Structure 1
Amino acid sequence: MNAAEDSSTRGLQSIALDPDRLFPAEPSVRGIARELHALVAELPILSPHGHVPAQVLLENSPFEDPASLLISPDHYVTRLIHASGVDLAELGVGGASAEPREIWRKFCAAWPLFDGTASGYWLRSELVELFGVDDELIDAEHADPIFDQLVAALKTPAFLPRALFDSFRIEVLATTDDPLDSLDAHRALAADPSFTGRVIPTFRPDRYLNAATPGFAERVDRLISEAGEGVAGYQGYLRALQNRRAYFIQHGAVSADHGVRTPRTLKLEQAEAARLFEAAMRGDLSPQERDAFEAQMIYQMARMSVADGLVMTVHPGSFRDHHTPSFERFGPDTGHDIPVPVSYTEGLRPLLNDFGDSPGFQLLLFTLDETVFSRELAPLAGFYPAVYLGAPWWFLDAPDAMLRFRSAVTETAGFSRSAGFVDDTRAFCSIPARHDASRRVEAAFLARLVAEKRLRGDRAAEIIVDLVDGAPRRAFKLGAFKSGAFEPSAFELGEGSVR
């Protein structure tokens, strides 16, 4: 019995099971959205940017408990509970020792904090649809029985990682990996005939490009030693990065991801770049020189992408590890990264002047700054063949923010410059809910255009399938459409809609 059937037998009428969730309130527009969503609801999930470790699928071991699966690794969840006064250590953040049942009790007590939030929407969907939880009972009083219910579910074969991977209909899952990662887990998965999914690595060189990160010189020394082919200095550094990119491509990688503070790029003379590199290795760079070094290395990453074909994704605009005491206690990626304003037009000009129309080069631009949707990103994507619009991510991957994005960029860049949705998550069980939320938002936006006589229904049908499936395949070079033929003539809009 699935969660929806179980909920029905118990009389549960959860909003997580409402078939019209996230659709427009106006009945005729809602009907169009419902039919558009039906076209893509069962399409496979393409997840070309995420953070679920490949080792989880390789080992295929039962998840230990609900807290370590759903709460501790998800900084969307822990940051908001922490804002109410709960110490991150009490939530098991950063490997802190905390009893799973106690973590779960704190989460259930904090459940009202998630009303109206994107994370609350995903959590409710996971708990109700996947685990069959009665969301009317999520509170401090019922924390223990719900915990026991989830523990029992996690012990069953249906909740093993590979079984969930299949039931989620994931076709492609990308991980995020250090340039010196052996990729042994990816190689073993690819060679395992019992696993038919596609799990691909992503080259993430941030800690080797930003000289301000602790341990920069030691990491770069190791990089050059292992992959520089005996060449020292700046040239050995570039050669080592190129060689590791090639290694990732051999193991299925399609993209290189860059989590930078700003999207600034610089094209420097080789002698000046080498001078900055040597100063960086000595720890002698000023803050301005560190920024210049990173900017010229982002330019170099683009040059390498033109040569080797890796899609270049850029995720700027986050002040990483904003709370120093939390960083020192729990490490990075523990919920205290804060968005900052960014500017793309001037910062990317050196890169785009040289590579913006280079055949095969694809640059996917993401942002945490909504002010640049229509002012910078859409115009850039509407001119440069290389530029694609990355989906709203992190703090913006919420229903209203995704609608604002689609409204802001479409009138300038159209639909064809979209790169598809990315879930960007460590929370494995939230992947289906996140992708479905995006599909519902796209259906809602397109339904309004149809109802306002701005788009024909058959074109809306073609577009939503392309946004969900075709766009990420093109933008991330994932290969051909595998979901079956789509015939727009088969889409019949309901009463009162546009044909």
Structure 2
Amino acid sequence: MALHPDRLLPIEPDARAIARRLYGQVADLPILSPHGHTDPRWYAEDAPFPDPAALFVKPDHYVTRMLYSQGVRLEELGIPSRDGAPVETDGRKIWRLFARHWYLFRGTPSRLWFEHALEHGFGIVERLTPGNANRLYDEIAAALARPEFRPRALYDRFNIEAISTTDGATDPLEAHQAIRASGWKGRILPAYRPDAVVDPDRADFRAEVRHLLAITGQPATWDGYLTAHRERRAYFKALGATSTDHGHPSARTADLAGAEAQALFARLLAGPATADEAELFRAQMLTEMARMSLDDGLTMQIHPGSHRNHNPDLFGRFGPDIGADIPRPMSYVEALKPLLDAVGNEKDLTIVLFTLDETVFSRELAPLAGHYPVLRLGPPWWFLDSPEGMRRFRESATETAGFYNTVGFNDDTRAYLSIPARHDMARRVDCACLARLVADHRLDEDEAAEIAVDLTYNLAKRAYKL
């Protein structure tokens, strides 16, 4: 059945009527996607997506982790393991397996995203079932072969104004160069993600640092290492980057004296790090990156709080980023103090804070962002990117930080067809929140309409310098 036009809007008649009017003013605004993980090669090559399973199932960690939790082997979903176990290569079989387990997604945001993509992308308004799986697979596959379903055409169809990818510090950005050389007008922007050369806990840390130094021609010294980062950031910025992104286990920061930082870097480059040394180095690098952002103007994003690769068996067999990442409790007030002591009062620097621990929204994040000019709150992310997570965020953060110390919405996705669905969900939830404030006589409706446009478009444009 078709998506209900009032989905996610308040059930109270007065508030629902207000929310409908507010949503009507933002539903068709352009999409700004300032943080995400789509592959820049899609836009550079503009090749057709191979099949429905490759589009909807294999790249979506929300999907694969749910299916794995119910006993589906990742190889059955087309994900190859390092041990050479047989892997399914037939997209139709993967799709039928997905259809048999579709009931698992009842009540999840994945269901809303998927059904929005089916209806708005392919005109499909029936629920996926084992009985219709083959027919829907054929309908979607036939559509994907048409020119209007290629990545650049979908960019225009989705009304995307700008979208940022996430790219490693040593990435040559060849796809971004190809996009520019092609003359296509879409704005596909790289974002500087230096985790591989900042996190000593990674097995390839020293090799990656040496690679960074080699491609920039810098010596293996602390000053050479920092200069290498500056040069790479400048290269990213020349290709359109407006932001950096930092995925750390914690939000801890440090501000060591130069000699201490130099000695720590030398120890880490010489051999394996202790846990304390690795954490201290990551902490120092957040402060160094903040200083660099103050110099070059790139907006800084900090995404802490995930216990990466929590399942050692899965990590050993499939490698990183296979959906076994788990949120952990976080602290920001003390953790960020060295960084804030250094740059917290700078009005020309923007640092966007994210969390996977929603217990800190009202206790720590909102008071920090409600005071320090440098800080803004990122939207609910990953496990919290859901209608209830978004509502809890607005209710917890707004009273202290207001709406204008947030940055609108980031879809943070590698699932391309879910981008309009995710932005639509955020717009509906925000309009529902604003409608309740109007119905409670805490806002006038003209104010709510202005805020709705800001949350949908203006705040992201401003924070990410788009």
The TM tier, using the shorter chain, reads over 0.9
Pick one of 106, 117, 123 that aligns with 1:115: 106
Deviation at 1:314, TM superposition (A): 0.3
1:147 lines up with 2:133 in the alignment: no
Pick one of 185, 191, 198 that aligns with 2:181: 191
Cα separation, partners in 2 of 1:276 and 1:379, compared to 1, 3 Å: same
- Which consecutive residues of structure 1, in runs of 5 or more, have no partner in the other structure? 1-12, 479-499
CA contact (8 A) 1:276 1:285 kept: no
Q: Name 1:60's counterpart in structure 2.
A: 46
- Counterpart of 1:237 in 2: which secondary structure? helix
Paired with 2:222 and 2:107, the residues of 1 have a C-alpha distance of 50
- Which consecutive residues of structure 2, in runs of 5 or more, have no partner in the other structure? 82-86
- Which stretch shows the higher mean deviation, 275-284 or 78-87? 275-284
Pick one of 47, 61, 65 that aligns with 1:79: 65
Give me the identity figure in percent.
50
Cα-to-partner distance string for 1:338-384 (whole Å, 9 max, x where unaligned): 00011000000000111011231110000110001001111011000
1:222 lines up with 2:211 in the alignment: yes
TM-score w.r.t. length of structure 1: 0.91
Q: Name 2:32's counterpart in structure 1.
A: 46
Cα-to-partner distance string for 1:154-210 (whole Å, 9 max, x where unaligned): 1111111111110000000100001111112212212333x2211100000011111
Paired with 1:271 and 1:378, the residues of 2 have a C-alpha distance of 35
What amino acid does structure 2 have at the position aligned with 1:173?
I
Trace 1:26-425 onto structure 2 (pairs within 5 A): 26-93=12-79, 97-136=88-127, 138-193=128-183, 195-227=184-216, 229-425=217-413
Cα separation, partners in 2 of 1:108 and 1:63, compared to 1, 3 Å: same
Paired with 2:278 and 2:172, the residues of 1 have a C-alpha distance of 29
Paired with 1:149 and 1:106, the residues of 2 have a C-alpha distance of 17
Aligned length: 461
Cα-to-partner distance string for 1:375-415 (whole Å, 9 max, x where unaligned): 11110110001100100010001001100000111110111
Cα-to-partner distance string for 1:275-322 (whole Å, 9 max, x where unaligned): 211221122421111111111111111111111111110000100111
CA contact (8 A) 2:366 2:400 kept: yes
CA contact (8 A) 1:93 1:334 kept: no
- Counterpart of 1:135 in 2: which secondary structure? coil
Cα-to-partner distance string for 1:108-160 (whole Å, 9 max, x where unaligned): 00110000001111011111221122433x12222111111111111111111
CA contact (8 A) 2:192 2:244 kept: yes
Deviation at 1:58, TM superposition (A): 1.1
- Counterpart of 2:192 in 1: which secondary structure? coil
CA contact (8 A) 2:88 2:94 kept: no
Trace 1:475-490 onto structure 2 (pairs within 5 A): 475-478=463-466
What amino acid does structure 2 have at the position aligned with 1:384?
Y
- Counterpart of 1:46 in 2: which secondary structure? strand
Deviation at 1:97, TM superposition (A): 4.6
Deviation at 1:234, TM superposition (A): 1.6
Paired with 2:372 and 2:197, the residues of 1 have a C-alpha distance of 28
What amino acid does structure 2 have at the position aligned with 1:250?
A
Paired with 2:120 and 2:80, the residues of 1 have a C-alpha distance of 28
Cα-to-partner distance string for 1:3-36 (whole Å, 9 max, x where unaligned): xxxxxxxxxx42x2x1111000111111100110
CA RMSD of aligned residues (A): 1.2
CA contact (8 A) 1:265 1:298 kept: yes
- Counterpart of 2:355 in 1: which secondary structure? coil
- Following TM superposition, the consecutive aligned residue runs of length 4 or more in structure 1 with deviations greater than 3 angstroms are 94-97
What amino acid does structure 1 have at the position aligned with 2:325?
D
